[in-house]
Amino acid sequence: MTATAEAIEMARIAARAADEKLATDVVVLDVSEQLVITDCFVIASAANERQVNAIVDNVEEKLRLAGHKPVRREGTREGRWTLLDYVDVVVHIQHDDERNFYALDRLWKDCPVITVDGIGAPAPADDTGAGSPAADDTGAGSPAADDTGAGSPAADDATPTADDTPGDR
């Protein structure tokens, strides 16, 4: 048995919604051969709790507009790993640390990956170049612009001089 067309479409909506809020490593898995309780997992991660919550809100909004409401939500208060259960689709939005620790991708690695067009695409190029490293020709803030070496690993591990004693380090 493979995932239903409706489940795949729901999962794609959820994946695109997560991607809109800059979720990382968005993946949709067809788990229907392994689980009888759901057809698809959507797994996405974020760098902080606020972003996890923003992604969750956007996924819920987009799926609500498509006529779907979760039957269960778990973990929204903590913002570390939120699970949205839509019966045929389960959406996991995880903080990067939880994503690496629990490794759902590895746990379900034998399941087919469902492609979602348009996710992970780079943002449209800004014609002005504003904010891009190439547009900032002063070099301010770049490692190369800081010729003092202060704070760099190389400066902190400097070779001791004759004035240095073991007690000074």
- pLDDT tens per residue, range 51-97: 999 999 999 999 999 999 999 999 988 999 999 999 999 999 999 99
Establish if 138 belongs to a structural domain.
no
Q: What per-residue confidence (pLDDT) applies to 121?
A: 59
Establish if 131 belongs to a structural domain.
no
Report the CATH number at residue 72: 3.30.460.10
Instruction: Give the residue, 142 or 25, on which the prediction is more confident.
Output: 25
**Percentage of residues of the chain with pLDDT beyond 90:** 66
Establish if 161 belongs to a structural domain.
no
Exposed/middle/buried for residue 103 (C-beta within 10 Å: 0-12, 13-18, 19+) = exposed
Establish if 153 belongs to a structural domain.
no
Could you give the CA distance from residue 163 to residue 169 in angstroms, rounded to a whole number? 11
Q: 113 near 104, Cβ under 8 Å?
A: no
**Beta bridge partners of residue 156, listed in sequence order:** none
81-85: strand order across its sheet: 72-74, 81-85, 89-95, 40-46, 24-30, 113-114
SS3 43: strand
Rg (CA), the chain: 23
Establish if 85 belongs to a structural domain.
yes
Number of structural domains in the chain: 1
Establish if 76 belongs to a structural domain.
yes
Q: What per-residue confidence (pLDDT) applies to 165?
A: 46
- pLDDT tens per residue, range 123-169: 544 444 444 444 444 444 444 444 444 444 444 444 444 444 444 44
Establish if 65 belongs to a structural domain.
yes
Residue 122 has pLDDT above 90, yes or no: no
Q: What per-residue confidence (pLDDT) applies to 118?
A: 86
Establish if 67 belongs to a structural domain.
yes
Domain, as residue range, for 47? 5-114
